[in-house]
Structure 1
Amino acid sequence: MPHVIIKHFAATLTAEQHATLAEAITQSVTQAFGCSPHAVSIALRPVAPDDWHSSVFVPDIQTHPQELIKSPDYSAA
C-alpha cells in the first residue's frame, strides 16, 4: 500500500527519468499517507491515443469523478 498506476500515451523514458519520476512520486505518496517508501509501488501503463477515451477516460475519469484529486482539462492540452 499504496500502488500508483500512471496511464499515459507511449513515451520512451530513460533510466534516469524513471528514477526521477519514481523518487518524486514516492516522496509525495509517503508524505501524504505517512507510509514507508518500501510500501510504495508504481506502474507505468501505456495506452494508445485511439484507446484513451474507452480505456481511461470513461472507466477511470467519467465514471468515478469523486475519486479524482485533479481533473483533466483536455481543451488546454
Structure 2
Amino acid sequence: MPHIDIKCFPRDLNDEQKTALAADIAETIARHLGSKDSSISVALNHVEPEAWKSEVWDTEIAPNMASLIKKPGYEM
C-alpha cells in the first residue's frame, strides 16, 4: 500500500496537472514495486519557502539522510 507524500514550494497547478502528476507517479511506483494502481495514494502538500527548514528539512530530511535513496543536492 504505497503512499507518496510530495512536499514542495507552492505551485500553481490546475486539477488536470495534479491528476497527471499523480498518474505518472503511480505508474512508476506500480512498475517498480509491483503495486496495484488501486493501492497507491499520492498527496501534494505545499510548504512555504520560509517554512521548509523547520517543517521538512529538520523533521523529515536531515534525520533520515542515511536512509534516503535520493539525497538532496543542497544543505541547510
TM surpasses 0.5: yes
Distance (whole Å) between structure 1 residues aligned to residue 20 and residue 74 of structure 2: 26
The CA RMSD measured in Å over matched residues stands at 1.3
Deviations 1:33-71 (A, max 9, x none): 111000000001111111101110111111011231111
1:25 corresponds to which residue? 25
Q: What secondary structure is seen at the aligned counterpart in 2 of 1:57?
A: helix
Distance (whole Å) between structure 1 residues aligned to residue 67 and residue 44 of structure 2: 19
Using the aligned pairs only, state the percent identity: 36
How many equivalent residue pairs? 75
Q: What secondary structure is seen at the aligned counterpart in 1 of 2:30?
A: helix
Which stretch shifts more, 15-24 or 41-50? 15-24
TM-score, normalised on structure 2?
A: 0.89
Q: Name stretches of at least 5 consecutive residues in structure 2 with no aligned partner.
A: none
